Amino acid sequence: MVPMRVTPSGPTVYIVGAGGQLGTALQARSEGVCDAVVRPLTSADIDITDPTSVAAALGDLGPDDVVVNCAAYTDVDGAEADAEGARRVNTAGPEVLAARTADAGAWLIHVSTDYVFPGTSEEGSRPADCDGYEPDDVSGTPATVYGRTKLDGERAALSVDPRATIVRTAWVYTGGPESRDFVGTMRRLEQSRETVSVVDDQLGSPTYSHDLADGLWELVAAGRRPQVGGSVLHATNAGRATWFEVARGVFEEIGAQPDRVLATTTADFPRPAPRPAYSVLSGHSWEAAGLTPLRPWRHALHAAIAASDAGARSLP
Ligand SMILES: NC(=O)c1ccc[n+]([C@@H]2O[C@H](COP(=O)([O-])OP(=O)(O)OC[C@H]3O[C@@H](n4cnc5c(N)ncnc54)[C@H](OP(=O)(O)O)[C@@H]3O)[C@@H](O)[C@H]2O)c1
């Protein structure tokens, strides 16, 4: 892809996984946010599991540069039957990138997930009425292959490059009617079904990809300070909701009757990978690092749907 130059001088920020949901949002939100050259790298430009490919794509990496790794094996159900594939991308991949950033003295920001937690508030040593999981709450073994390989990827990245930063997020969506995320899926189902049944017993932190991208750009612009180098941070929109509540919010935003969304339970929707009952991430670590809290999830959902509708209206 052609590099996007934000300003003519300054460090280079490499977006790895640029063709994915978050990578696309990071590019969309890069305009003028920091004094950097932005270089998006898709899976056609770099294979993070291959040290030769990484050396070639990040050959010019210097100590002022930043690598934001959004590349991952994100098919949570598929990973259950392809543990080796998931491990290559989610564990070996960040390790290879970390070796390159450590060698160059560059800053690796590696994106991770709520699935590293056990998925129940009790097991996570957090009472149900707390502000959510804190970064140090990881205990026990994640319930899914995806979660285990992502947790191992965090640990591998930090052990090879102790000055890297891990940013965990959760329940990411962009919200356009065509998007493969939850919000896009609800918008399509609203068109094709009279009622939609959605689980009401999984609690998490819905996160608009553009808000997360803005937060990551703020992190990049603030630089690798002692509060963030070698740290794990949590970045999600504020508040908590069940998928049922998010679905009702989507229906409200698109002018559909929210009562058409019916509550159901996880037991009614068996999946190859068990879904966490509790995935709320606390924003304390983000604020303690001097970064702006992401707005409440319901405001973000409103903005996401308005932005996608405005984008659709401006199409020829
Ligand atoms: N989406 C969520 O709800 C969510 C929630 C919590 C955390 N996260 C984390 O957020 C990050 C970004 O997720 P996302 O939603 O943007 O995922 P995504 O849309 O699935 O994008 C992942 C990207 O990684 C690329 N990729 C896969 N294997 C690669 C390899 N070996 N080398 C280079 N690139 C490779 C994929 O390229 P191809 O498509 O060409 O293979 C894809 O563009 C991930 O770390 C994920 O674990 C996501």
CATH number at residue 17: 3.40.50.720
What is the residue range of 161's domain?
4-171+207-237+280-295
Q: Tell me the CA–centroid distance for residue 165 and ligand 1, in Å.
A: 17
CA dihedral for 41, 60, 30, 239, sign (positive or negative): positive
> Across residues 281-296, what is the average pLDDT?
97
Q: Tell me the CA–centroid distance for residue 286 and ligand 1, in Å.
A: 22
In a domain, 316, yes or no: no
Report the atom number in ligand 1 closest to the C-alpha of 19: 43
| pLDDT bracket for residue 214 (50, 70, 90) | very high
Count of Cβ atoms closer than 10 Å to residue 263 Cβ: 15
**By the 8 A CB rule, do 251 and 260 touch?**
yes
Which residues lie across from 233 on neighbouring strands?
167
Report the atom number in ligand 1 closest to the C-alpha of 93: 31
What tens digit of pLDDT does each residue of 225-245 get? 999 999 999 999 999 999 999
The catalytic position among 73, 115, 146, 173 is: 146
**By the 8 A CB rule, do 266 and 277 touch?**
yes
pTM: 0.94
Report pLDDT for 2. 40
Report the atom number in ligand 1 closest to the C-alpha of 18: 43
In a domain, 256, yes or no: no
> Across residues 34-62, what is the average pLDDT?
95
* Residue minimizing CA distance to atom 5 of ligand 1: 170
> Across residues 124-149, what is the average pLDDT?
82
Q: Tell me the CA–centroid distance for residue 47 and ligand 1, in Å.
A: 12
Q: Tell me the CA–centroid distance for residue 127 and ligand 1, in Å.
A: 31
> Across residues 89-103, what is the average pLDDT?
98
In a domain, 177, yes or no: no
| Whether pLDDT at 20 is above 70 | yes
| pLDDT bracket for residue 139 (50, 70, 90) | confident
| Whether pLDDT at 32 is above 90 | no
- 278 catalytic per annotation: no
In a domain, 183, yes or no: no
| Whether pLDDT at 311 is above 80 | no
Report pLDDT for 313. 62
Q: Minimal CA–CA distance to 266: which of 155, 59, 119, 163?
A: 119
In a domain, 313, yes or no: no
Report pLDDT for 3. 44
**CA–CA gap between residue 110 and residue 88 (Å, rounded):** 15
**Pocket lined around ligand 1, Cβ cut-off 6 Å:** 17, 19-23, 43, 46-49, 70-72, 74, 89, 93, 111-114, 150, 169-172
> Across residues 39-54, what is the average pLDDT?
98
In a domain, 70, yes or no: yes
Report pLDDT for 314. 62
Residue with tokens 């037991």: 267
Report pLDDT for 124. 45
The CA distances from residue 253 to 241, 249, 308, in Å, are: 16, 6, 12
Pocket test of ligand 1: the residue of 27, 43, 84, 210 to mutate, having most ligand atoms within 8 Å of its CB, is 43
293 backbone dihedrals φ, ψ, rounded to 5°: -60, 145
Q: pLDDT averaged over the chain?
A: 92
Q: Tell me the CA–centroid distance for residue 258 and ligand 1, in Å.
A: 31
| Whether pLDDT at 260 is above 90 | yes
| Whether pLDDT at 121 is above 60 | no
Quote the number of domains for the chain.
1
| pLDDT bracket for residue 122 (50, 70, 90) | low
In a domain, 117, yes or no: yes
Burial (CB < 10 A; 0-12, 13-18, 19+), residue 9, is: exposed
- Secondary structure of residue 127 in the 3-state scheme: coil
In a domain, 30, yes or no: yes
**By the 8 A CB rule, do 208 and 303 touch?**
yes
**By the 8 A CB rule, do 147 and 254 touch?**
no
Pocket test of ligand 1: the residue of 1, 15, 22 to mutate, having most ligand atoms within 8 Å of its CB, is 22
The CA distances from residue 315 to 216, 308, 311, in Å, are: 28, 11, 7
Q: Tell me the CA–centroid distance for residue 256 and ligand 1, in Å.
A: 31
* Residue minimizing CA distance to atom 40 of ligand 1: 43
